[in-house]
């Protein structure tokens, strides 16, 4: 029988995880098997740099936290060894990074996750991972609105240049005329 101290620690972990789940922009649950120490170190570094919290957590603790946070549907994916990645800022980051590793490592797979306050399946997480990052989307948007403006400016400049052609030919004749003294 676990001691009171251990039960209190587990209760604190569950409450903390439930709080994080409810505040998360997104979260991804992965089957954490078949990954080497070097791959795990690189994965954790990538997630940390992206501002994503990542931990291997017991399924019972994830399940209890999911119930508290209102994500009970996530419990159906809790079998085997799992890890949980949570992002509070960028909803795409954990999906993108974890999908990259799931594509490389056959036994490491995405099981599901949380997005916009709802439980999503692995297919949805994989679709989310295929979305370009925020900077790329902004660059594409700016490029798409900038292109017509450049074309418009180019047309205006061509019109101005054409109108000035006739004036430039007349201007040298006026310059050659002797000045009256």
d(C-alpha 89, C-alpha 5), whole Å: 34
Q: Is the pLDDT of residue 171 over 60?
A: no
- Spatial CB neighbours of 173, under 8 Å, sequence gap ≥ 6: none
| The pTM of the whole model exceeds 0.85 | no
Phi-psi region of 28 (alpha: psi -120 to 50; beta: other; left: phi over 0): beta
The model's pLDDT over 126-148, given as tens digits with 9 standing for 90+, comes to: 998 888 877 888 888 888 888 78
The model's pLDDT over 41-78, given as tens digits with 9 standing for 90+, comes to: 999 999 999 999 999 999 999 999 999 999 988 988 89
pLDDT value at residue 156: 87
Measure the CA angle with vertex 11, ends 10 and 17; round to 5°: 90
């Amino acid at each position: 029988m676990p001691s009171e101290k251990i039960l209190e620690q587990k209760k604190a972990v569950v409450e903390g995880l439930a709080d994080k789940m409810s505040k998360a922009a997104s979260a991804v649950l992965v089957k954490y098997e078949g990954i080497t120490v070097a791959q795990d170190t690189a994965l954790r570094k990538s997630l940390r740099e992206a501002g994503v919290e990542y931990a291997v957590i017991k399924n019972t603790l994830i399940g209890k936290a999911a119930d508290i946070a209102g994500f009970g549907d996530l419990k159906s994916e809790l079998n085997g060894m799992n890890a949980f990645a949570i992002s509070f800022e960028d909803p795409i980051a954990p999906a993108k990074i974890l999908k990259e590793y799931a594509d490389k490592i056959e036994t490491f797979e995405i099981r599901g996750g949380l997005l916009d306050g709802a439980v999503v399946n692995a297919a949805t997480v994989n679709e989310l991972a295929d979305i370009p990052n925020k900077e790329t989307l902004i660059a594409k948007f700016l490029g798409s609105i900038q292109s017509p403006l450049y074309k418009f400016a180019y047309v205006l400049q061509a019109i101005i240049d054409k109108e000035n052609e006739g004036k430039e030919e007349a201007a040298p004749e006026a310059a050659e005329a002797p000045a009256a003294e």
